[in-house]
Amino acid sequence: MWSWQDLRSLLGTERPPRGVAACHSVGDLRDRARRRVPRPVFDYVDGAAGDEMSLERSTAAFRSVEFHPRVLRNVTSVSAETTILGRRSPFPLVLGPTGFTRMMHHSGEPAVARVAAAAGIPYTLSTMGTTSIEDLVDAAPGADLWFQLYIWRDRARSKDLVDRATEAGYRVLVVTVDVPVAGPRLRDVRNGLTIPPRLTLRSLAGMARYPSWWANVVTSPPLSFATFAGAPSDLAGLINSMFDPSVTVEDLEWLRGQWDGPLVVKGITTLEAAREVVAAGADGIVVSNHGGRQLDRSPVTLEALPAIAAALGDRCEILLDGGIRSGADVIAGVALGARACMVGRAYLYGLMAGGEAGVKRAVDLLTAEALLTLRLLGATGLGDLGDGLVSLRPAPR
Ligand SMILES: Cc1cc2nc3c(=O)[nH]c(=O)nc-3n(C[C@H](O)[C@H](O)[C@H](O)COP(=O)(O)O)c2cc1C
């Protein structure tokens, strides 16, 4: 006959993990995020342009990655250390620029930058950020901060932002070139998303379901753009009034003259464009289609990467973004030619799921998964990734 004592010894005393600790993948963080923030906020992050084909294809491309492991290798110690634009980093990951970050969670950009600083990886503040260039430096001492610029109609204001980033000690300038005009983000239009979120009858009803999110919005400093004031509150209206559809490669050359540090051009999907911006003085490029948020049906970045890396890998540093949701995806990107990968949604899901702890969980998961993938591949470092360890399976007929 079993006694309660016998049973208790089998049950164990550990409490199951809760909150973001119970999320075991970026997908789990996404599921938790969906339950924790109002629908328009989740959709703003999760959604993309048009029919969202670029987004769908980007994530699908990572599912066509095939690993060819080497067996009988000593993988007792493993490291994913690398150098990103001249600075050592323990992991080939950059937290990319995302606008309105305090809308996802009131801890916003400072939380993301603190996690990046602790992990020793770079964080990129967006022009559309909700924390100022200077405040972020104070909030995350020691972080490797990059600043992302959109070239505005008013060049003097662009120049002013570049000067402030220089003055505040930002190390890398990232100029995004795939937003001549706003992409058609249909989820935002359907949800009537405004920045800051407006209290309507519908959103008041939503308060009941997301009380902590709304309480934080109401009790933290007003949600607004840190770099400009008086802008229209609908997203497309804002982009179209401030951004300049006439920007050309000459503007890039002008910008090169304004910034002494590494200059990275983000939003490149073809070899031709990559060559053009490198000739204009870019030190690095991000092979990116803005996470599918601009031109739907644009090239799949993982597929575009190998040819660009083969042609220009010795002339500039190549980063990759779009659809990266796991550490295995990061390893695939590096194996196919990227120096490092950039992520947007992966850390934003973490932020929405649990603030700073959620961002940390996302970065920890990506790191642990990448190290595990290296080991299972029979590699002890990123340098072992050549030699056909990773390929893309041909598309099924
Ligand atoms: C909510 C959100 C806001 C973004 N805002 C910006 C931005 O202000 N500037 C920019 O260059 N890219 C922006 N991006 C694009 C990201 O930097 C990055 O290219 C994209 O998220 C990569 O795809 P992934 O989300 O699948 O990782 C944004 C992306 C998201 C999801």
Q: What is the pLDDT of residues 320-351, one digit of tens each?
A: 999 999 999 999 999 999 999 999 999 999 99
For the CA of 291, the nearest atom of ligand 1 = 23
Segment 281-304 mean pLDDT:
98
- Report phi then psi at 267, rounded to 5: 115, 30
Nearest atom in ligand 1 to the alpha carbon of residue 148 is 11
pLDDT at 47: 98
What is the pLDDT averaged over residues 85-110? 96
Averaged pLDDT for residues 281-287: 98
299/327 Cα distance (integer angstroms): 22
Q: Is the pLDDT of residue 80 over 90?
A: yes
Instruction: Please indicate, yes or no, if residue 11 is contained in any of the structural domains.
Output: no
345 C-beta closer than 6 A to ligand 1: yes
CA gap 271, 275 in Å, rounded: 6
201 has a pLDDT exceeding 90: no
**What is the pLDDT at residue 271?**
98
Tell me whether residue 18 is in a domain: no
**Counted domains in the chain:** 1
Decide whether any atom of ligand 1 lies within 6 Å of the 57 Cβ: no
Higher model confidence: residue 237 or residue 246?
Answer: 246
Please tell me which residue, 220 or 69, carries the higher pLDDT value: 69
Residues 217 and 196 sit within 8 Å (Cβ to Cβ): yes
**Do 99 and 126 meet the contact criterion of CB atoms below 8 Å apart?**
yes
Can you tell me the mean pLDDT for 89-95?
98
Residue 28, pLDDT score: 98
User: Please, which residues bridge with residue 116 across strands?
Assistant: none
10-33 pLDDT, tens digit each:
666 678 889 999 999 999 999 999
- How large is the average pLDDT for residues 50-74? 97
What was the pLDDT predicted at 206?
67
**Ligand 1 atom 10 nearest Cα:** 97
pTM score of the predicted model = 0.94
Output Rg (C-alpha) for the chain, integer angstroms. 22
Q: Span 38-57, mean pLDDT? A: 96
Q: What is the average pLDDT score of the chain?
A: 92
Q: In this structure, are residues 242 and 228 in contact, taking their beta carbons and an 8 Å threshold?
A: yes
Q: Does the residue 21 lie in any domain?
A: no
**How much of the chain exceeds pLDDT 70, in percent?**
90
- Does residue 239 sit within a domain? yes
Tokens of 250: 């000459």
Residue at 15 is within a domain: no
Residues 6+ apart with CB under 8 A from 201: none
Confidence band (pLDDT; 50, 70, 90) for 232? low
Q: Is residue 229 part of a domain?
A: yes
Q: Helix, strand, coil: what percent of the chain each, to 5?
A: 50, 15, 40
The enclosing H or E element of 147 equals: strand 145-149
- Provide the pLDDT confidence category of residue 267 given band limits of 50, 70 and 90: very high
Which alpha helices (H) appear in the chain, and where do they start and end?
Answer: 4-11, 26-36, 39-46, 53-63, 101-104, 108-119, 133-139, 155-168, 186-191, 201-207, 211-219, 235-242, 249-258, 271-279, 301-312, 327-335, 345-377
Residue closest by Cα to atom 5 of ligand 1: 98
**With bands split at pLDDT 50, 70 and 90, how would you rate the model's confidence at 228?**
low
Counting ligand 1 atoms within 8 A of each CB, the residue from 57, 112, 133, 290 with the most, and so the one to mutate, is 290
What's the pLDDT at 213? Answer: 82
305 lies in which domain range?
28-392
Tell me what pLDDT residue 203 has: 63
Q: How much is the pLDDT for 198? A: 67
Closest C-alpha to 363, from 17, 4, 26: 26
Ligand 1 center to residue 147 CA distance, Å?
13
Instruction: Give pLDDT tens digits for 169-191.
Output: 999 999 999 999 989 999 998 98
When pLDDT is averaged across residues 313-320 and rounded to a whole number, the result is: 98
Tell me if 139 CB under 6 Å of ligand 1: no
pLDDT reported for residue 295: 98
Which of these ranges, 2-11, 53-62, 350-359, has the smallest mean pLDDT? 2-11
In this prediction, residues 213-236 reach a mean pLDDT of 71
CATH code where residue 365 lies: 3.20.20.70
Atom of ligand 1 nearest to the CA of 55: 26
Is the residue at 369 inside a domain?
yes
Catalytic residue among 24, 68, 106, 290: 290
Q: pLDDT band at 387, cuts 50/70/90?
A: confident
Q: Is 301 within the bounds of a domain?
A: yes
Cα 142-106-162 angle, rounded to 5 deg: 50
> Residue 10's pLDDT is what?
65
> Is the predicted pLDDT of residue 363 greater than 90, yes or no?
yes
Q: Is the pLDDT of residue 68 over 70?
A: yes
pLDDT band at 1 (very low <50, low <70, confident <90, very high): low
User: Is 246's pLDDT higher than 80?
Assistant: yes
Q: For residue 346, which atom of ligand 1 is closest to its CA?
A: 27
Q: What is the pLDDT of residue 307?
A: 98
Catalytic residue check, 290: yes
Q: With a 6 A CB cut-off, is 40 part of the ligand 1 pocket?
A: no
